Structure 1
Amino acid sequence: MNKTEKLLQDFIENLKKTFGERLTSVILYGSCAVEGCDTSKSDINSIVVIDGLNGNDLEKANIALKKWLKTENPLPIFFDRAEWFNSSDVYPIEYSDIKERYRILHGEDIVAPLQVEHRNLRHQCEYEVKNLLIKLRETYIAECTDSKTLETAIKSGSKTLIALSRAILRLTNESVPAKHEEVINHLAAKVGIDGEFLLKTLAFRKDKKVFSKKEYGEIVKKLIDTTDFILKYVDKLGK
């Protein structure tokens, strides 16, 4: 048993001791759920569902998760059982992502029965893309001469677009590839955007190359125009 498996085992055992039969399900989702847990490359993303979750339970959870809190992994997301089944309309992107890549670590499979409605997914996609576009515009207007701010905008903007690209492909009933590069290529072909540019912004997150203020500005402006084009495409899907 490796360190990750031991961490997950202790995590589940502590939750079982704390919540007993009220522990409905513990879900592992994301790349770790289907590709194995290489924690040097991927976070361990998890969801804990408790029947009748209340404020006092959160204090108990803090004690149960002492070891987990010392790691660099994200804090598990806690849901009440009823809340879990009533949230697919407000978290359609997140629920779609979970349904695509998940593994039940304990309890019942409460992911498989979930239904994500197309109209809810499209609505959240439009909201998130529009929100990104507004933020990019505001950043460029206020900080168009600040290289560090523009660099951060490129990195965060491209990361957001990658996540949204998966959801947009689902709107078109496309199968969603596992690799980011393939997701971008599929979206570019479907929407009619410059996929090579988006791939460069994706690589930019790992690249330590330094650009001039003008170059940063040109990248951000093209990212803004690309986001605007994607927004118009998503909007048309609702007509």
Structure 2
Amino acid sequence: MLSTDAKLNELVKRLKEFAATNLECVILFGSAARGDFREGHSDLNVVCILRSLTVEELGRLANVVKWWCVDQKEPAPLFFTREELQQAADVFAIEILDMKHGRRVLYGEDVIAGIEVPMNLHRLQIEHDLRTVLLKLRQHYLRAPGNAKEL
């Protein structure tokens, strides 16, 4: 099994090989970028920015993602174009704030630095997520009243 840095270096190498000039940047985010990564418990979260995300471009990267997910047992990287990521700040407010507060550029330019996340939208996403969890908890409770293990 490869070390964390070796895995990340190999991922970038493979992405550069198969995406070529279409690859704009690769950014590590989350616990590994913040310094609180725990081997065997934490995931390596990666976002890749490509100039184009056509079906053909994604097809060229399928084996890289398969290697990363199956062989290295890491979650699939997130793939965006620069424009998609900038326009997603309202919909993925929590995720982009997480990226902004803990990231390490592995290749290319830091495209996350310039993204502004409106905090009112961040609050809305958090409220939506919490209310969704509360609704699911109520549903589970009603299906299994008094069964703590089932909840």
Q: Which has the higher strand share?
A: 2
User: Displacement of 1:16 after TM fit?
Assistant: 0.7
User: Displacement of 1:66 after TM fit?
Assistant: 4.2
Q: Answer whether contact 1:14 1:65 (CA < 8 A) is retained.
A: no
Q: 1:107 to 1:36 in 2, by over 3 A?
A: farther
1:58 aligns with 2:39: no
Across the aligned residues of Structure 1 and Structure 2, the Cα RMSD in angstroms comes to 1.6
User: Displacement of 1:148 after TM fit?
Assistant: 2.8
Matched residue, 1:4: 4
Matched residue, 1:145: 146
Matched residue, 2:75: 74
Structure 2: runs of 5 or more not aligned: none
User: Displacement of 1:39 after TM fit?
Assistant: 2.6
Matched residue, 1:18: 18
Matches of 1:81 and 1:35, distance apart in 2: 26
SS at match of 2:107: strand
Q: Which amino acid aligns with 1:72?
A: K
Matched residue, 1:46: 46
Matches of 2:143 and 2:37, distance apart in 1: 41
Deviation string 1:94-115 (CA, Å, 9 cap, x unpaired) is 1111111111110100111010
Q: Which runs of 4+ in 1 moved over 2 A?
A: 36-39, 64-67, 145-148
Structure 1: runs of 5 or more not aligned: 151-239
SS at match of 1:109: coil
SS at match of 1:146: coil
Q: Which amino acid aligns with 1:79?
A: F
Q: Which amino acid aligns with 2:7?
A: L
Larger-gyration structure (1/2): 1
Matched residue, 2:133: 132
Deviation string 1:142-183 (CA, Å, 9 cap, x unpaired) is 112334321xxxxxxxxxxxxxxxxxxxxxxxxxxxxxxxxx
Q: Which amino acid aligns with 1:43?
A: D
Matches of 1:94 and 1:66, distance apart in 2: 23
Matches of 2:24 and 2:150, distance apart in 1: 44
- Give identity over the alignment, percent: 32
User: Displacement of 1:36 after TM fit?
Assistant: 6.3
TM-score by length of 2: 0.90
Q: Which amino acid aligns with 2:127?
A: E
SS at match of 2:91: coil
Matches of 1:36 and 1:89, distance apart in 2: 27
SS at match of 1:104: strand
User: Displacement of 1:37 after TM fit?
Assistant: 4.8
Matches within 5 A, 1:167-182: none
TM-score by length of 1: 0.59
Q: Answer whether contact 1:25 1:48 (CA < 8 A) is retained.
A: yes
Higher relative CO (Cα under 8 Å, sequence separation at least 6) belongs to 2
SS at match of 2:32: helix
Matches within 5 A, 1:84-99: 84-99=85-100
